[in-house]
Structure 1
């Protein structure tokens, strides 16, 4: 081939190349327009579970001492599934996907969780970090301190088993064993548990704690001490922020001699109020009384208390306890937190009381500790052995928890049943007084419209020898050992009837009534209300009301004659005040 033919050949080759290129281009267009076959199977992408070594100042091996480990020193850093781990030195076991970390061990997971310790072993397959010595787990504002902690990254739970302390919002929790879940933000503490803050201390066996709401749930025998109050519970919730407690399973609250027990108890420390439901027993060990009901509440700040739903008050200050039932009891405290404090107890409706030696019924009752007076309203009746006392209002005054005197106001009637159960000694008057010494009556006074039926007794056989009927304006009876010793009256009209010649209409006074069927027979009977039979209730007596004071009407000289007449009417009190003013106040 000559040199002259070379360009021809090259030119001809260029033609051939252009044709081939055009053919390939056409084929590419056809291939691009042809539908491709879909792949029938595809391997799933496997999650990368490897622990990565990010940095170490020095890396070396020691096939004699630890042939399976890479020995790392200086600013060691690992990364594993969103967590970063740092330490001073480490043994990296690449085959088992784990490492041991030494010195200033730190683990960071996101921006809310960090773990610090002196030593740690990390298993990448199990995602378990086992930290030891001076361990601190920080999660948001909560810090867990311990010497041994296993943190499970799969379940976001740290377990400690050689004693631990959790500090959260001013609360410090300690126990021998426990766990903390960073996802639910809840902790469980077991064995020798103690929760402490500035206002309270909780001790127990098992405690569940929610760091979001600062709510503690005590399980098993537990005590909560706050100031002078103590709460014992085996199933209770306590909110340390709100200072509120919900207690179940017959929990007990005590404070300076007072104790409240119930199926469920709710306590608000800030408001100072407590409510109890179901078989509630409120006991005042200082004053020796109890308040029982299916619902009770108490306010520490005001001293107000209430009990209802099968409510019962018990006074055990004496040898024999007094039991009293009413639909509702209310206690009001006056001058609280002072030396002059006193209380009023209101009981209503359908009040029934029982003690071995005295029983009573009425519609409502008020007890005032200021003068130790118990006032009974609306058809009150009091029984003492074989004696019955009734009236419109009965006031009973106590001294050293023992009856001192009694005052019966309006339609007063005293009835004593004789030993033969047929004859009755009776006294009726507008009002009566009875005076007691060591619980025994020694004097009885009757005033205004006094009517008396009295049966003398034959000392030989204790039978009635006749009937004495008396009418007088006032009478005093003196007794000794419950027997009549002397009677005093200013003026009396009396008639003596032999036992065989008593007129039928003289056997009973016009107001006589014997309500033995109403009387409580034991402490359980106080819950069984039995009212008086129809027609035996006390009659309503309308009494004169005090005259209303007439006020001067404005108008001066233009007042009419009727207004002038009303203006001239002056009460005795006003007249006395005018005389005092006219005399210069002397």
Structure 2
């Protein structure tokens, strides 16, 4: 204990001695001068020095003239003032006041502080020769190679070469202009650190905003961590953390990422985003989704009562309140019967046209990965052609063997293949020579006859064309087929178009439309959404499926839809999910009005199943038809009428006689569980938790006097309703002899629905415990090995 106490006392004495040594200031010494004069100013002895050089604790100070105050250990210097520390730091100015006790130098007028390749200029600088810190508060500028920095207040640390700038800070680099409130800049590494609202303006008209981050002026890389946003013309990218490389044009945002394009009215959100400036492409992953605003005129709420017209008393015309349109007004008759100066104006007709109300809706679109980019129209057509060819299989070369090119045979090889003649006879090799009997003769052509024949043919053709023009009928107008009708776009190959691509588990939710597919592609050129790999669309009470689905927006509303091949539409009336109205064919084209399916055209092997109902909405009969083409009109979410064209075959029979096999078409598909129920299913889908394997505990040995119990109690499955003939088996993809489309859902049944209002029961079979299994095997072997009775 005494040993530690003695050590502590020695440390205190050492600290006290050091403090006393530091407390005693060193004296400013004069190294050289060209002349000195002793004067008295205000009763104080002052030494006037010409071209003096002072030395104070390793710091050299020079000036043209100076006044040395020995009692205060300080001096004033004038003209060509210079403070030098080492070989790298120099301070220049016109005036200087230096205090040797505090080591503070006040340099004014045309001040320059030079530290290696950094130069700080100001009019008033406070510099501490002990700490090597320079301060200015009246505005200054720091120049470091290609970087120029200005601010109102500044603090320069010569030891670490860090400079802190405050208020109206502007940093100008070769490729960027930075404006901020608080900034730290290192003249050695040329890295800027931001501690307040900061704007970085690039030469490509892009802007970076942050409130905390750093920017490397050499590599032009930026790291931001608070309220970050990158803006380029009408687009911006923001996130909690943002990295951007200006030279490579690469940006990366992490957490709460938002990419917005005001020009195209699209917003993409997610948790991880990447931006490529050269390709104008952004990729968002980790729960990404897109928000697209759609518009529709809401005519359900219109004001049918015209507002009362107000007649002016002084004017000669009627004045009507706002929001009304006056077709015509009559002038006021000034000569009334009662002789009054003002009379009531007669309004001929007033037509009120209220402004239509715009009903806005938002379409939410999510997937595992969302990608957006801007391409030219030529590139877009090439991408669409690749998508079209990707789904076409070339079967022309499937059975043909691969062709192998063989080298041409040489003459010596051919001779070896020919059998040799008998002995004594020479081999005939004349067939190796071409044109053995000479070149073939070319028949002679009489040029006069050829010219005459050519002139006759031209005259006949001219006469025929003249007669055809006289009797030519007007061109016949051919109406385009509704099934194959397409909108034409007159765009140049260089036109820039934004596209959106969704990869894997793509889903769409809108208040009146939902969809899902493995991948989707949307182009702003034609406002068409293209869905691939098991796409399904749900609109109102209808489900539409096929191999490929296109649906197009017009004026921000759902306009038309293409489905091919193996197109299928399933419609449910009300809540009755036991009977499905179905339409199927090779190609299907649907048209929407007010986002509701109005007409449906089917071409190629068109089939329909429709259930008629009575006044009590009970199904009475079923109609099944087959034709080449079908047109279906919908009204109030119901099939109003069905028109069949070419090779029509139709069967109508009571519902009691209709078998379960007759109630569905080939390839029937019904998946209501996969329909997105809300926008939350797109924005924040439920996370699937990993299920850890559970270790099975060993079965306990049965105790004496008790029967062995099974480890798992198996409940008896409730038998289904006998009145409903179930056609679906959980372990089979064939329904009543008809193959069904592959179902990727996790449900045990191929058909996700209820049959005649009662759910299909699927009871899992649990395996028996080990003890029960052994007992069953033992009983079975005993029965098999039992001796036969004589």
TM-score by length of 1: 0.78
1:262 alignment counterpart: 239
Q: Deviations over 1:426-454 (max 9, x none)?
A: 11222312123553433212122222112
2:121 alignment counterpart: 145
3-state SS, counterpart of residue 196 of structure 2: strand
CA-CA distance at 1:110 after TM superposition:
2.4
Greater RCO structure (CA 8 Å; 6+ sep)? 2
Change (3 A) 1:434 1:534: farther
1:262-411 residue pairs with structure 2 within 5 A?
262-318=239-295, 319-335=360-376, 339-411=494-566
Q: Which runs of 5+ in 1 are unaligned?
A: 1-42, 541-586
1:450 alignment counterpart: 606
3-state SS, counterpart of residue 517 of structure 1: helix
2:477 alignment counterpart: none
Aligned-partner Cα distance in 2 for 1:529–1:84: 72
Change (3 A) 1:167 1:53: same
Task: Indicate conservation of the 8 Å contact 2:207/2:231, yes or no.
Answer: yes
3-state SS, counterpart of residue 316 of structure 1: strand
Task: Indicate conservation of the 8 Å contact 2:534/2:546, yes or no.
Answer: yes
CA-CA distance at 1:369 after TM superposition:
3.9
Task: Indicate conservation of the 8 Å contact 2:512/2:595, yes or no.
Answer: no
3-state SS, counterpart of residue 661 of structure 2: helix
Aligned-partner Cα distance in 2 for 1:179–1:65: 36
Q: Deviations over 1:304-325 (max 9, x none)?
A: 2211111212222542111122
Matched, 1:425 2:581: yes
1:472 alignment partner, one of 620, 627, 631: 627
Aligned-partner Cα distance in 2 for 1:246–1:90: 50
Q: Which runs of 5+ in 2 are unaligned?
A: 1-16, 296-359, 380-492, 689-729, 734-739, 744-790
1:492-507 residue pairs with structure 2 within 5 A?
492-498=648-654, 502-507=658-663
CA-CA distance at 1:216 after TM superposition:
0.8
2:76 alignment counterpart: 100
1:233 alignment partner, one of 210, 234, 243: 210
Matched, 1:513 2:669: yes
1:73-152 residue pairs with structure 2 within 5 A?
74-152=50-128
Q: Deviations over 1:239-273 (max 9, x none)?
A: 22222211112311111111111111111112212
1:199 alignment counterpart: 175
Change (3 A) 1:461 1:103: farther
Task: Indicate conservation of the 8 Å contact 1:392/1:538, yes or no.
Answer: no
3-state SS, counterpart of residue 77 of structure 2: strand
3-state SS, counterpart of residue 205 of structure 1: strand
Matched, 1:188 2:229: no
Task: Indicate conservation of the 8 Å contact 1:163/1:174, yes or no.
Answer: yes
Aligned-partner Cα distance in 2 for 1:456–1:135: 98
Change (3 A) 1:529 1:131: closer
CA-CA distance at 1:206 after TM superposition:
0.8
Change (3 A) 1:64 1:330: closer
Change (3 A) 1:145 1:461: farther
3-state SS, counterpart of residue 63 of structure 1: strand
Q: Deviations over 1:189-234 (max 9, x none)?
A: 1122221234322222210111122211111222112232122211
Aligned-partner Cα distance in 1 for 2:144–2:617: 82
Between 81-90 and 482-491, the greater mean CA deviation after superposition: 482-491
1:148-159 residue pairs with structure 2 within 5 A?
148-159=124-135
3-state SS, counterpart of residue 520 of structure 1: coil
Matched, 1:218 2:194: yes
Q: Deviations over 1:300-348 (max 9, x none)?
A: 1112221111121222254211112211123344339984223443312
CA-CA distance at 1:187 after TM superposition:
0.5
Q: Deviations over 1:13-48 (max 9, x none)?
A: xxxxxxxxxxxxxxxxxxxxxxxxxxxxxx99x899
Task: Indicate conservation of the 8 Å contact 1:289/1:317, yes or no.
Answer: no
3-state SS, counterpart of residue 674 of structure 2: coil
CA-CA distance at 1:500 after TM superposition:
5.8
Aligned-partner Cα distance in 1 for 2:661–2:596: 33
2:224 alignment counterpart: 247
Over the aligned positions, Cα root-mean-square deviation in angstroms equals: 2.9
Aligned-partner Cα distance in 2 for 1:237–1:317: 40
Aligned-partner Cα distance in 2 for 1:170–1:70: 45
3-state SS, counterpart of residue 320 of structure 1: strand
1:573 alignment counterpart: none
Task: Indicate conservation of the 8 Å contact 1:214/1:240, yes or no.
Answer: yes
Change (3 A) 1:107 1:417: same
Task: Indicate conservation of the 8 Å contact 1:287/1:317, yes or no.
Answer: no
Q: Deviations over 1:465-517 (max 9, x none)?
A: 54321122221223456553552422321122346655443333343332111
CA-CA distance at 1:133 after TM superposition:
2.4
1:413 alignment counterpart: 568
Matched, 1:55 2:210: no
Aligned-partner Cα distance in 1 for 2:732–2:169: 67
TM-score by length of 2: 0.58
2:741 alignment counterpart: 538
Task: Indicate conservation of the 8 Å contact 1:89/1:103, yes or no.
Answer: yes
Aligned-partner Cα distance in 1 for 2:268–2:731: 33
Aligned-partner Cα distance in 2 for 1:495–1:530: 49
Aligned-partner Cα distance in 2 for 1:109–1:64: 31
Aligned-partner Cα distance in 1 for 2:125–2:69: 21
CA-CA distance at 1:371 after TM superposition:
4.0
Aligned-partner Cα distance in 1 for 2:586–2:238: 46
CA-CA distance at 1:64 after TM superposition:
5.0
